[in-house]
Chains A and B, each alone.
Chain A
């Protein structure tokens, strides 16, 4: 049953939604709603075109990866520092939550003023978003490492450094994966918004371009591809996670 649930049911979910979409597309006549078939065909031809959607996908994926990698590389040491030193946490927790609450896209005008409309500007917004989304997940997770493991480590004779390397870090690995997945999600959302405003290429820019020519099925195709990319990246992280933290106990339902 569980194997069936894991392999078949997710596809069944997609099938239901696609069927509903198809039904809506055939029933609604006044507005421009392309059928799933039209959208898939558009996406497919866009992908096969030289200098077509594949270029946009590559650009967007690379941007998201840079944002997530740099953002998480920054949030990791900051997260550990905040979790380890309560004074730092008390001092910076409010400002971090303030920055996290700002929609990154609201920063774009300022970023354009200071960094121009080049690649640095987009990457800055992405890194910002990935950093603030992941740092909170990280330090809350690290601070919540069960006290019992820390005590056990100390009672066995661990120094602070040994405690950090051999208890806190391994105990936090699951939380690191959560942080990466959160950062990925936020980065995709931010990237598209950033590309909608100022970019020549990329999936967000492609959607914007198509919309200005009223090519609805291309807009749908762009959205579809963003979803597929984000989903595939999330699946990749989850596969790595399943191997890296196979020690974790799962509540079986």
Chain B
């Protein structure tokens, strides 16, 4: 199923990326290939600094590969495009715009201009889906971190993208908010069924949300392992206690530990 590039939305095809020149050059991504199919939720797990954000930036169109290529619906990705919505780890909603104006932002651009009624409709839908009712007129500075990321998600959804690219969107949040956000994102993606690529450090988060998990190794990075998550859908807080969930969590935590352990030993021989 994952090898079927016909239905692939995003595909990485033997991608290589390095930074710097000459003696200072560091190879970061050393031949990574995987796909994100239509309607599929794929998480990318990997040790710190292994190039997860680099891959996502490439899918978004902020960065080009040195060799190999990243494709969207079969075409080489060369620039950002609103068919690929992005949510960043840092708070990236516009601080000078109210919640509803942030969400409507993409729809007021020439690229995806909608009628006023359609825009309002869409803003209302995602305000509801993200539980932001009552905060339409608030400014970002009045919101908690979790709410800001909900606005960011709503803003990304609003332009009706084919793929969502999520770069550790919940990493800055406290554990409880995080879990709540995972459930919210799970419900939203159940309702929307869009393809998504989620970068995360959290094994728990990856299992809870994904059809498939791509585990990356240490730099220079290759794909360490790809896992189909067989925890039944839809997931709920109880899913976290199911045997499939626990077994996979145990396995992945072991993998992550050994990966970051070997990175540590390499850095401090």
**A pairs with B:** yes
Q: Is the pair B109, A154 in contact by a Cβ cutoff of 8 Å?
A: no
Secondary structure call for the B interface? loop
Please name all residues of chain A whose beta carbon is closer than 8 Å to the beta carbon of B112 when the two chains form the complex.
157
A148 to B89, CA, bound (A): 10
Q: Is the pair A248, B159 in contact by a Cβ cutoff of 8 Å?
A: no
Please name all residues of chain B whose beta carbon is closer than 8 Å to the beta carbon of A167 when the two chains form the complex.
94
Q: Is the pair B139, A162 in contact by a Cβ cutoff of 8 Å?
A: no
Contact with A along B83-95 (1 / 0, CB 8 A): 0111010101111
Please name all residues of chain A whose beta carbon is closer than 8 Å to the beta carbon of B159 when the two chains form the complex.
156-157
The answer, yes or no, to whether A25 is at the interface (CB within 8 Å) is no
Q: Size of chain A's interface in residues, with CB distance under 8 A?
A: 22
Closest to A162 in B: B109
The answer, yes or no, to whether A242 is at the interface (CB within 8 Å) is no
A252 to B86, CA, bound (A): 31
Please name all residues of chain B whose beta carbon is closer than 8 Å to the beta carbon of A152 when the two chains form the complex.
86, 88, 92-94
A151 to B159, CA, bound (A): 15
Closest to B95 in A: A247
Q: Tally inter-chain residue pairs, CB-CB below 8 A.
A: 74
A154 to B112, CA, bound (A): 12
Q: Known contacts A156-B159, A247-B96; is A162 also within 8 Å of B90 by CB?
A: no
The answer, yes or no, to whether B25 is at the interface (CB within 8 Å) is no
Q: Is the pair B96, A151 in contact by a Cβ cutoff of 8 Å?
A: no
Q: Is the pair B96, A170 in contact by a Cβ cutoff of 8 Å?
A: yes
Please name all residues of chain B whose beta carbon is closer than 8 Å to the beta carbon of A162 when the two chains form the complex.
109-110
CB-contact partner of B111 in A148, A157, A166, under 8 A: A157
A173 to B96, CA, bound (A): 10
User: For chain A residues 209-227, which have a beta carbon within 8 Å of chain B?
Assistant: none
A247 to B79, CA, bound (A): 31
CB-contact partner of B106 in A148, A156, A171, under 8 A: A156
Q: Is the pair A247, B82 in contact by a Cβ cutoff of 8 Å?
A: no
Q: Is the pair A155, B109 in contact by a Cβ cutoff of 8 Å?
A: no
The answer, yes or no, to whether A92 is at the interface (CB within 8 Å) is no
The answer, yes or no, to whether B145 is at the interface (CB within 8 Å) is no
A156 to B108, CA, bound (A): 10
Q: Known contacts A148-B88, A155-B85; is A247 also within 8 Å of B141 by CB?
A: yes
The answer, yes or no, to whether B60 is at the interface (CB within 8 Å) is yes
What distance in Å separates the Cβ of B12 from its nearest Cβ neighbour in chain A? 18
Residues of A near any B CB (own CB < 8 A): 148-149, 151-159, 162, 166-167, 170-171, 173, 245-249
> Given A170-B97, A245-B96, 9 other A-B contacts at CB below 8 A?
A149-B94, A151-B60, A151-B86, A151-B88, A155-B84, A156-B155, A157-B81, A167-B94, A247-B97
Which 3 pairs show the lowest CB-CB distances between chains A and B? Answer: A157-B82, A157-B111, A156-B106
